[in-house]
Amino acid sequence: MLTALLAGCGGSGDALRVFAASSLRGALPALDPGADYVFAGSETLATQIREGAGADVFVSASPRAMTGLVESGDVEQPTTFASNRLVVVVPRSRDDGIRSFTDLARPGVRLVLAGEGVPAGDYARDALRAAGLLDGALANVVSLEDAVSGVVAKVALGEADAGVVYATDARIARDDVRVIPVPAQDQPRIAYLVAPVVRGDVAAARAFVARLTGSAGRRVLEEAGFTPVGG
C-alpha cells in the first residue's frame, strides 16, 4: 500500500515533497511547514525513490541509503548537515532494573531494535559490537522495527523492556520513557545527509537544502536536539 501511495504522488506539485528519515519528524516541519513530508526508514524511502516514487528531496539518517541513490543517478551529490547520538530507552511506567548499556545483554531483558538496514538499527548494532555486547543483546531481541519510531513506540507502550534509539526521539517521548546513556566510547558516528532528487523539482529542492544547511536549519536542528555539522 505504501508503494502504491508514494508512486501515485509526483514530486512536481505545488508543495515540495520531502522524503525524510523518521527521526527528523520533530525537526523538518519547523523549517518548512508548507512542504509535503513522508517520514519512514531511510532504506525504505531510498527504495521508493529508486522505484520511481515522486519526491523532490531525500533526507537520510545514514550515508549508506544515500550512496546507493547517488550511484544509481537518482539524487544529486548529498550534503551532510547533522549528527545525533544513541541512547537506551526504558518504559517510564515501570522499573525493570535496567541501569546501564551493559544490561541490554542480561538474560531475560526484552529488547527491541530497528532492523538491519535501518540506520538506527545498524548504528545500534555498531554500538553494541563496540561494547562487546552484540551477541548477548541480539539474543534478547523480541522485535525488529522498520523505523526508529517503532522502537520508541514499543518501549513507550511497555511492550519491551528497552530499546536503542536516537537521543532526539527519546526527547520527544520523554513523558513515556526514561533515558540511559550509551557510553561515549561506544557511540557510532551518525551522519544525516540531504540531496535533491533529480526527477523532482530540483530548483526548489536546492533551495530547501540551502535553508536546511544555513542558519535557519541550524537553529531548527539545535532546538530539536540534533548537532548541526558543516555550513
Q: Which residues of 9-45 are buried (b: 16+ CB within 10 A; e: fewer)?
A: eebeeeebbbbbbbbbbbbbbebbeebbbbbbbbbbb
Q: What is the pTM of this model?
A: 0.88
Q: Are 61 and 203 in contact (CB under 8 A)?
A: no
Average pLDDT value for residue range 100-104: 98
| pLDDT for residue 9 is more than 90 | no
pLDDT-derived band at 13, boundaries 50, 70, 90: low
| pLDDT for residue 4 is more than 50 | no
Query: What is the reported pLDDT for 230?
Result: 72
Q: Are 44 and 120 in contact (CB under 8 A)?
A: no
| pLDDT for residue 3 is more than 90 | no
**Each residue's pLDDT tens digit, 133-180:** 999 999 999 999 999 999 999 999 999 999 999 999 999 999 999 999
How many other CB atoms are there within 10 angstroms of residue 214's CB atom?
Answer: 14
- Nearest residue to 89 via CA among 154, 178, 183, 182: 178
Establish whether domains 2-83+190-228 and 86-186 are of one fold: yes
Give the residue extent of every domain in the chain.
2-83+190-228, 86-186
Question: Angle, nearest 10°, between helix axes 63-71 and 119-130?
Answer: 130
**Each residue's pLDDT tens digit, 51-100:** 999 999 999 999 999 999 999 999 999 999 999 999 999 999 999 999 99
| pLDDT for residue 5 is more than 50 | no
Query: What is the reported pLDDT for 6?
Result: 42
Alpha carbon distance 224, 1 (integer Å): 31
Residues 2-83+190-228, CATH architecture: 3-Layer(aba) Sandwich (3.40)
CATH 3.40.190.10 is right for the domain spanning 86-186: yes
pLDDT-derived band at 231, boundaries 50, 70, 90: low
| pLDDT for residue 8 is more than 60 | no
| pLDDT for residue 190 is more than 90 | yes
Query: What is the reported pLDDT for 10?
Result: 43
If one compares 10 and 166, the residue with the highest pLDDT of the two is: 166
Q: Are strands 36-40 and 17-21 parallel, antiparallel or unpaired?
A: parallel
Extract the C-alpha cell encoding 31: 523549517
